[in-house]
Structure 1
């Protein structure tokens, strides 16, 4: 097993400054900041192995060598694109700060990868997953999380960051702080509201330390992202679902089911908090047979004459 390579200050200092910048000024999520940290650290270690110990010494051919080395190490195209994106953004920032004259990663492309379409659960699978009773507060909390995630189409970080003040039970909506600190309001739905009403009185039994909606029944503290992932996975197994259950899959199921019923891509874009419609088009993918049925039923030129 290879020992990790120590990174000299001539490389690490700029990485630390950049991470503070995206965390404090750009207000990117902790998960995104950690991804940048991991990718830039890996690149810096490879640079040291290539005897490059200053960012200003990095040239275009070196960037290509870093990508080739990452590819040979088994990095998949999607992960390779993520690593290169982190490097390019970091070098752009250095240019803006006057640390570099030019970005040596400009004009270099990563290998194209096939578009990954997230999988969703069908309505029956969602109903099977949600078939959790009122036996204990832990089950009630988990059922409420599942209902809110599916009912409002939240991101995982948005779910864990929810505070009591974000929930408007009278209006039946939730205020969400999404990517880039953009705020949006999303309807919760009848079932999510019902289970929030079940959970709130039980929540007080654990002397919560903050205003988080979802807390640990052991510590009273806000639930972590990893804890939610584990609970969702556990319920998928308990409820006998054949596919792996995770928060992203529930968010995608929310979007897909809405789009299948309404066909309103713009509305789904707003509910999901996507800045670009192209993101929604991939994220709320409909199979071609469904689109063909809609087209055949609705378009004047598609309707076949009866014989």
Structure 2
């Protein structure tokens, strides 16, 4: 039955990662169950989960319940059982579940959460908002209107030793969004949570205690070197997290760690991680040890090339013509900014991070070109369509602010639109268009490249348009489905 459910998820175009996650949780849950799924009751399930309550976080238990709920709902729909032993999800999931000390705060937060629901924000994201705001206002007796920027600074300083910087950023992001809503509703005059109050100045340095100080120093040297080499902030942080987690509890100095020890670590990693995750961590360790050898800190790397798993070559997810039409139709209902944003992403092939950095001065509407800063701080010229130029002109005319950014927030004091919010805009449009899977900005980039290839563009041209430094990266677009290859063959060969 579990295999039938997993096959159903595969046919429903759920991601490989999601299906593997479901498979793992169901295997663990049913491994010790002596009765069939059809005989389970809610008390059986609760008893099974309670056994692991001490070892599992609350979020982990919630994930197991969501997984089981989906499985049993599938069984009900197929007629294998009459009723699910798990209750349906809470109906008013957008409301705070615990009372706050200040009744006014509770009313306004619930109003904000309902606004997010009406804006078609996903249930998962709304519950995240709810949880963060619940924590932030749990002990706040004063009205939300009395919050000042000084209060925020104090809150940050009190937690900087206990919480990671990205966690503090996370809390401030949700709180800032709430206060933006309050400004829009005229409950307050200005937002007391200023943008990017917390700045991770030396983000490339190790942030957690490392048992061996020499390992810490070498990791920091390596991270500084890739930072100087213009690796993106996101990449440097990812490398930092992997290296510090690998070395944090190791007594041996990095140069004395044997290949067999690293291999044992990889074997344990393979039991709980996907092949893609394992491959990425191997590549990070490879890069670190290659740096150590090149800088003459050690003679030979302990890493072995045979360890890297052979990953299947994936086909990029792109929109077909029908899906593009659906997206554009839904986009017609949006404000000038969102219309221009979607058309720009669709016809320029830009990464969302590149669009985020764009300024008005970088865009030439007459020539329909823009100068973007890509990976490694490389500047390249991109092109966009006539319809996109028209929408950008309309959006430009609708603005009366002095912000230099190309895309800004729709607030009284506009700020540069974040990459995350661009993703939210695109995701909402995808939901309204009723696409078979979630829409994200990078899918527009894949669509742009695939359309160029369909029209006969050479890979070298597509490489330049996308800003790839290596043609091998662009070659993934050559792996079109058979149907597309037949269309291209009939077009050129008859």
TM range (shorter): 0.7 to 0.9
Tell me the residue number matched to 2:80. Answer: none
Alignment size in residue pairs: 288
Tell me the residue number matched to 1:20. Answer: 224
Asked if structure 1 preserves the Cα contact closer than 8 Å seen for 2:454 and 2:488, the reply is: no
Aligned partners of 1:293, 1:257: CA distance in 2, in Å? 13
Q: By how many angstroms is 1:124 displaced?
A: 2.3
Aligned with residue 273 of structure 1, among 459, 467, 473: 467
Cα 1:114–1:52 change in 2 (3 A) is farther
Aligned partners of 1:140, 1:21: CA distance in 2, in Å? 42
Range 170-179 or range 101-110, more displaced = 101-110
Q: By how many angstroms is 1:2 displaced?
A: 8.3
Range 31-40 or range 248-257, more displaced = 31-40
Tell me the residue number matched to 2:406. Answer: 213
Q: By how many angstroms is 1:16 displaced?
A: 2.6
Aligned with residue 233 of structure 1, among 424, 427, 452: 427
Asked if structure 2 preserves the Cα contact closer than 8 Å seen for 1:260 and 1:286, the reply is: no
Q: By how many angstroms is 1:181 displaced?
A: 2.5
1:64 partnered with 2:260? no
Aligned partners of 1:29, 1:64: CA distance in 2, in Å? 29
Asked if structure 2 preserves the Cα contact closer than 8 Å seen for 1:133 and 1:140, the reply is: no
Q: By how many angstroms is 1:133 displaced?
A: 3.5
Aligned partners of 1:67, 1:288: CA distance in 2, in Å? 36
Asked if structure 2 preserves the Cα contact closer than 8 Å seen for 1:140 and 1:198, the reply is: yes
Cα 1:284–1:128 change in 2 (3 A) is farther
Cα 1:168–1:37 change in 2 (3 A) is same
Name which one, 1 or 2, has greater alpha-carbon Rg: 2
Tell me the residue number matched to 2:367. Answer: 171
Q: By how many angstroms is 1:30 displaced?
A: 1.7
Greater relative contact order: 1 or 2 (C-alpha under 8 angstroms, separation 6 or more)? Answer: 1
Q: In the TM superposition, what are the counterparts of 1:91-110 in structure 2 within 5 Å?
A: 91-110=289-308
CA deviations 1:71-96 (Å, max 9, x no partner) are 12x21111111111111111111223
Asked if structure 1 preserves the Cα contact closer than 8 Å seen for 2:315 and 2:480, the reply is: no
Cα 1:108–1:2 change in 2 (3 A) is farther
Range 109-118 or range 11-20, more displaced = 11-20
Q: By how many angstroms is 1:295 displaced?
A: 3.5
Can you give the 5+ residue segments of structure 2 that lack an aligned partner in the other structure?
1-54, 58-207
Tell me the residue number matched to 2:311. Answer: 113
Partner SS, residue 455 of structure 2: helix
CA deviations 1:276-299 (Å, max 9, x no partner) are 222212135322233244335645
Aligned partners of 1:214, 1:21: CA distance in 2, in Å? 33
Asked if structure 2 preserves the Cα contact closer than 8 Å seen for 1:153 and 1:251, the reply is: yes
CA deviations 1:47-72 (Å, max 9, x no partner) are x2xx4442122221122122112112
Q: By how many angstroms is 1:113 displaced?
A: 1.8
Q: By how many angstroms is 1:246 displaced?
A: 0.3
Aligned with residue 192 of structure 1, among 370, 376, 388: 388
Q: By how many angstroms is 1:220 displaced?
A: 2.2
Partner SS, residue 325 of structure 2: helix
Tell me the residue number matched to 2:199. Answer: none
Cα 1:188–1:63 change in 2 (3 A) is same
Asked if structure 2 preserves the Cα contact closer than 8 Å seen for 1:10 and 1:53, the reply is: no
Range 14-23 or range 254-263, more displaced = 14-23
Aligned with residue 341 of structure 2, among 128, 145, 149: 145
1:41 partnered with 2:244? yes
Q: By how many angstroms is 1:224 displaced?
A: 2.2
Aligned partners of 2:265, 2:398: CA distance in 1, in Å? 53
Partner SS, residue 104 of structure 1: coil
The list of structure 1 runs, each at least 4 consecutive aligned residues, that deviate by more than 6 angstroms after superposition, is none
Range 219-228 or range 81-90, more displaced = 219-228
Cα 1:238–1:291 change in 2 (3 A) is closer
Q: By how many angstroms is 1:264 displaced?
A: 2.6
Aligned partners of 1:290, 1:255: CA distance in 2, in Å? 14
Partner SS, residue 113 of structure 1: coil
TM-score (norm 2): 0.54
Q: By how many angstroms is 1:134 displaced?
A: 6.5
Q: By how many angstroms is 1:6 displaced?
A: 4.2
Partner SS, residue 212 of structure 1: coil
Can you give the 5+ residue segments of structure 1 that lack an aligned partner in the other structure?
none
Asked if structure 2 preserves the Cα contact closer than 8 Å seen for 1:203 and 1:215, the reply is: no
